[in-house]
Amino acid sequence: MLDSGFSEEDMEILQSFGPNLISGAYRRHALRFASRLIQLAQDPACNEPKAAIIRDGGSLILGVACRDFRGLASIITGVILAEGFDLAQAHLFSSARYSLALDFLHLGNHPAPDALASLPARVEEAIAQRTFLPADASHGGLSLDDDGEYSIDVWRPGLFCLRYMTRDHKPAGAIIHALVQTVYRDLHGNVHALKANTARGKTFVSVYHSMPGEEALEQARKVLARQ
């Protein structure tokens, strides 16, 4: 990426998101948000998020670059569902060193052009105002006990993975929003990464997150058992 005009200091910021972003499938999309991420890292007074629609072949991707904070994934997915979109999959990247987020959310349907054009501005506004939308039926939400199987385990030291699998195909967007709401509201955690896909007629979602407390995993399992 140095040949794209980035200094070594700029590269240090971008590399803080990890090799999966810089060298992976989202590398070229990340370049579109690089200048905003660098600005956010270097200027503490800058808090302006950036969202944009990316067209990748037949896919529509919502890209979002902003400061990271607990509940961010819940805000973004809530707006997407409230605006009438579904999610096919989502990949969230974060820089713990600079408290930044760069998220790519694949839209699962192709709505009217006007709705698509206005989505980035609505996401930016919700992030700036920290507007949380509820995970209820009016926004495509569901509860974890609808018809799926879930588990939560240690992912790596200090981080956990909440997994959910449906018994048959379900829209991923509603599941994603319900899970990130659960992490934020019930587990008091912060989402660091997320993967979602559909395969073999089922929908799979994995949410990687932190949780407070020395007995966080045990407490989380008790909370989820009451869902």
- Residue 196, φ and ψ in degrees, nearest 5: -145, 140
Task: Output the pTM of the full model.
Answer: 0.86
The tokens for 106 are: 């694949």
CATH topology of domain 2-129: Alpha-Beta Plaits (3.30.70)
pLDDT value of residue 109: 74
pLDDT value of residue 137: 37
C-beta neighbour count of 219 within 10 angstroms: 15
Residue 19, amino acid: P
Residue 157, amino acid: P
The residues, ordered by sequence, that sit 6+ positions from 152 with a Cβ below 8 Å of its Cβ are 160, 161, 162, 163, 217, 220, 221, 224
Domain positions in the chain are 2-129, 137-225
The residues, ordered by sequence, that sit 6+ positions from 186 with a Cβ below 8 Å of its Cβ are 223, 224, 227
Asked if 92 and 106 touch (Cβ cutoff 8 Å), the reply is no
- Of 3.30.160, 3.30.70, 1.10.287, 3.30.310, the CATH number of 137-225 is 3.30.70
Q: What is the pLDDT along the chain (227 residues), one digit of tens a residue?
A: 545 678 999 999 999 998 878 777 888 899 999 999 999 999 999 999 999 999 988 889 999 999 999 999 999 999 998 898 988 778 888 898 999 999 999 898 766 788 899 999 999 999 999 988 765 433 444 455 556 888 999 998 889 999 999 888 777 888 888 899 899 989 999 888 778 777 888 888 999 999 998 789 999 998 888 76
